[in-house]
């Protein structure tokens, strides 16, 4: 199956996961943290909207700010902060497309062909979930999921577990190889990651 890098997929809803606590960043709303003059969400959003026709922002605070970007904003159905699986379940219950793709709000250099590659590999392997692998490790929040998995997630969360990889293992899972662009998954996890000059270093690495 050939990948069309210019295609904006109509059968995939893209979800930006921005609902976390960001403890390592002092509890700031990570999607709104300034990175080289713009909030992180403004780095991720154009990269995702170039790949899919519909986008949702999953957030649990500052909903009005996120709404200003012109896309639907969805808050987790579960009270509190339950990690990325809670956002996945909530959005799966809302969207109408056959597939849902998730990306984190803190990866300003995410691959420009992410959706095409995840979709290709999910279909080729008759999987329910396809997750990116950067050649060194799995990237669990860069995932493509088939519709209808929300009840499975909710039951898993209600059992008290929040580990994304363990829930993945309960379903037909395949991995998509991104070892050719491992640095595209660089994410903002620590205050030093937003220090001046970091963008230049990252662009040189990509």
The DSSP result for 141-161, as a single string, is EEEEEETT-HHHHHHHHHTT-
User: What pTM value is reported for the model?
Assistant: 0.88
pLDDT value at residue 160 = 85
pLDDT in tens, 50-72: 999 999 999 999 999 999 999 99
Asked whether 165 and 181 are in contact (CB, 8 A), the reply is no
Record the tokens describing residue 157, joined without a space: 């969360």
Which strand (E) or helix (H) includes residue 201?
helix 198-205
Provide the domain count of the chain: 1
Q: CB 46: neighbour CB atoms within 10 A?
A: 8
Residue 193 lies in a domain: yes
Residue 27 lies in a domain: yes
- Domain interval for residue 182: 10-205
The CATH number for 81's domain is 3.90.550.10
Would the CA dihedral through 173, 44, 75, 20 be positive or negative?
Answer: positive
**Residue entry with tokens 């979800």:** 15
Asked whether 188 and 30 are in contact (CB, 8 A), the reply is yes
pLDDT in tens, 96-110: 999 999 999 999 999
DSSP string of 160-197, one letter each residue: T---HHHHHTTS-EEEEE-TT-GGGG----SGGGGSTT
Residue 1 lies in a domain: no
């Amino acid at each position: 199956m050939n990948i069309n890098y210019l295609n904006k997929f109509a059968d995939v809803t893209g979800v930006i996961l921005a609902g976390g606590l960001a403890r390592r960043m002092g509890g700031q709303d990570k999607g709104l943290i300034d990175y080289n003059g713009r909030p992180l969400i403004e780095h991720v959003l154009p990269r995702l909207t170039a790949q899919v026709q519909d986008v949702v922002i999953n957030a649990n605070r500052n909903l009005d700010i996120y709404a200003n970007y012109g896309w639907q904003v969805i808050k987790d159905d579960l009270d509190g902060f339950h990690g990325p699986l809670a956002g996945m379940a909530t959005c799966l219950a809302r969207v109408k497309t056959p597939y849902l793709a998730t990306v984190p709000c803190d990866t300003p250099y995410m691959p420009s062909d992410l959706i095409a590659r995840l979709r290709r590999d999910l279909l080729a392997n008759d999987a329910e979930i396809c997750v990116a692998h950067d050649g060194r490790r799995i990237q669990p929040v860069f995932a493509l999921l088939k519709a209808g998995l929300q009840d499975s997630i909710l039951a898993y969360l209600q059992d008290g577990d929040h580990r994304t990889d363990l829930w993945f293992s309960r379903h037909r899972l395949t991995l998509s190889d991104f070892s050719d662009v491992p640095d595209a998954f660089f994410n903002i996890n620590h205050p030093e990651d937003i220090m001046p000059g970091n963008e230049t270093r990252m662009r040189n690495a990509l």
